A and B are shown apart, each in its own frame.
Chain A
Amino acid sequence: MNCDEAFDLITHPTDHNCEELQWHLQLCPRCLQMKETLAPALDTFQQVLDDATAADELADYHAEFHPSAEQVAASLFPKTGKPFLSAETVRMAEQAAGRLRAESVTNQLAKQSLKRKPHQKRLVHAALILLAGFVMGWGISLDRSENNHFSSEVSSLQSQQPCLWIAQRENRAYQPAKTEREKRAASSVVLSCVACHLRSTAE
């Protein structure tokens, strides 16, 4: 029980002494102080209500032994004044009904929207998670494609013919004896190097 509910019970016409409230008052000094502050007014209300209830019970007890249709009628509506019913009063009642109906509809809609809200939140969360997943996936796929592009470039470079100079040197290491064909190859290598290096210097 919270303090708000405790206030409901403190000011309750009949349940103001319930055990639940007593437990709360033992644990909550603020509510206890509130009850003590309000005690003069609350006690008077309770006393008046108890008197009225006792009077009603006494009347019921007598009515059981002395039932009389006239008495019942008199106790319901003693002939004290001139009860009347005007069109204005009826209109007032109809307006009250209209207002209460509108408020009950509004309250129902509010309750329904409250019920819907958690469902909507869940949907939004799921959508966000999906979106985040999609973005992450897209990012990863982009990253992979870039890597693939780089690796393909590397592999394409690797797949290209190796440098003729290095290849020549390696061949020389394995085959020390020079042939005429090799000499021509060497001159072609030099020519290719010169051509290549001259072009790069010019650039």
Chain B
Amino acid sequence: MIDDATMMKRICAGEYLLFDELVLRYRDRLLKFAWSKYGNLSAAEDLVQEAFLSAFAARESYNPAFAFSTWLWTIFLNLCRRHYKREFRQPREMVRSSFAAAEAAVIPEPSSPETPLQVALKTEQFQLLALYLSELPEVQADALRLRFFGGMKFTEIALTMDCSLSAAKIRVKNGLLQLAHRFSEGTTSEGDVS
């Protein structure tokens, strides 16, 4: 299996089709991230495509001194933040409403056959998790998404989020604590109802 750096070197040398392999490697993780952040599949897929396109367009600026994955995630995170600023002026309400809309929408988009991954991402569990993540401070939620959906190490998270290693760990830890508390509350209230 060719590593990312070698692949990028060959892509820069003109073997453009190899970029498909990189897309296959990272697309699902990016999609999980964006889908959990926005709850809007088409917006998430647009962002993922835009991230890959910009990485391809700026391929000459890539340097093997840093990991391709870190670079791609940095681009993607910046795109997500820009999108967040433009589209979601009131994040909590909008994210909630977008998930509500996703639940209410029964008409699938005709030109987009759902992949198994997309089906998995529409489970109730995932949507609840995405909803609770949207209630966290953005940096904590992003750190959690990078850790679990991106499968990144803490050092990579720190590089991607441009923060220290300890800050990355604290963000993940505090985010998990708040999420755990939220899930416990949900379980307790369900138990009270039943």
Question: From B184, which residue of chain A is reached at the shortest CB distance?
Answer: A40
Interface-forming stretch among B9-17, B90-98, B99-107, B173-181? B173-181
Contact among A40, A45, A51 with B148 in the assembled complex (CB-CB below 8 Å): A45
Kindly state whether residue B28 has any CB partner on chain A within 8 Å: yes
A150 to chain B, nearest CB (A): 66
Q: Please count the residue pairs between chain A and chain B whose beta carbons lie under 8 angstroms apart in the complex.
A: 160
* Chain A residues, CB < 8 A from B66: 97, 100-101, 103-104
Is the CB–CB distance between A80 and B112 below 8 Å? Answer: yes
Partner of A90, one of B58, B82, B159, B173: B58
Asked, given contacts A52-B28, A100-B66, whether A75 binds B115 with beta carbons under 8 Å apart, the answer is yes
Chain B residues within 8 Å of chain A by Cβ, number: 64
- Pick the contact of A55 from B70, B112, B120, B177 — CB < 8 Å? B120
The answer to whether A93 and B75 touch (CB under 8 A), given A13-B148, A79-B112, is: yes
Q: Contact size class for A? A: 35 or more
Counting CB contacts under 8 A, is B191 at the interface? no
Residues of B within 8 A of A (CB): 20, 23-24, 27-28, 32, 41-43, 45-46, 49-50, 53-55, 57-58, 61-63, 65-66, 70-71, 74-75, 78-79, 82, 109, 111-113, 115-117, 119-121, 123, 125-126, 128-129, 144, 147-149, 151, 153-154, 159, 162, 169, 172-173, 176-177, 179-180, 183-184, 187
Residue pairs across A and B with Cβ atoms less than 8 A apart, 22 shown, are: A11-B173, A14-B151, A44-B129, A45-B144, A51-B126, A52-B117, A55-B120, A80-B45, A81-B42, A82-B46, A83-B46, A85-B53, A85-B54, A89-B53, A92-B54, A92-B78, A96-B71, A96-B78, A101-B66, A103-B66, A103-B159, A104-B63
